[in-house]
Amino acid sequence: MGLATHAMFVLAHRQISSALPFHPPADVVFYRADPKIPLNRDQAAESLTHFLESCRAERTIALRTMGHRRITDLGPRDPCALEPEMARRARVPYAGDPVG
How far is Cα 67 from Cα 96, in angstroms, rounded to an integer?
Answer: 17
What distance in Å separates the CA atoms of residue 12 and residue 20, rounded to the nearest whole number?
12
pTM of this structure: 0.65
The pLDDT of residue 3 is 79
Q: Where are the domains of the chain?
A: 3-65, 70-100
Neighbours of 14 (CB within 10 A): 14
Query: What pLDDT shows up at residue 1?
Result: 58
User: Alpha helices of the chain — where are they, by DSSP H?
Assistant: 3-12, 41-65, 84-90
* Residue segments in the chain with a per-residue pLDDT below the cut of 50: none
**Nearest to 9, CA basis, from 57, 36, 47, 64:** 47
pLDDT tens for 32-53 read 656 667 778 898 899 999 999 9
Report yes or no: 29 and 8 within 8 Å, Cβ to Cβ. yes
pLDDT for 95: 86
